[in-house]
Amino acid sequence: RVERDFAGRLGALPAATRTLLLIAAAEPVGDVRLLIRAAASLGITPDAAPAKEAGLIEFGEPVRFRHPLVRSAV
C-alpha cells in the first residue's frame, strides 16, 4: 500500500523529473555528481523540485529517497 502511494505521486511529476528519479534509483550510493552527469548525458536538465515537493527524495550529498519503497516504486 505504501509503495502504491509513492507510485501514485510519481505519475503527477514532469517526465524529466521522473527520469531523474529513475537515474537516482539505479545509482546505489546517492552520488549527486554522478546523477547530474548521467542526466546531462541523456539531455535532461535536473529539476528535482517537483520530486522534493512531493516528498519523494532529498537532493543533497548523498541523494536519498524519503523511504526505501520510493526507490522500489520508481
Check: pTM over 0.95? Answer yes or no.
Answer: no
| pLDDT value of residue 2 | 83
| pLDDT value of residue 37 | 92
**8 Å CB contact between 58 and 66:** yes
Average predicted confidence (pLDDT) for the chain: 89
Q: Among 61, 39, 59, 34, which residue's Cα sits nearest to residue 48?
A: 59
* Predicted confidence (pLDDT) at residue 4 exceeds the cutoff of 90: no
Q: What are 66's strand-pairing partners?
A: none
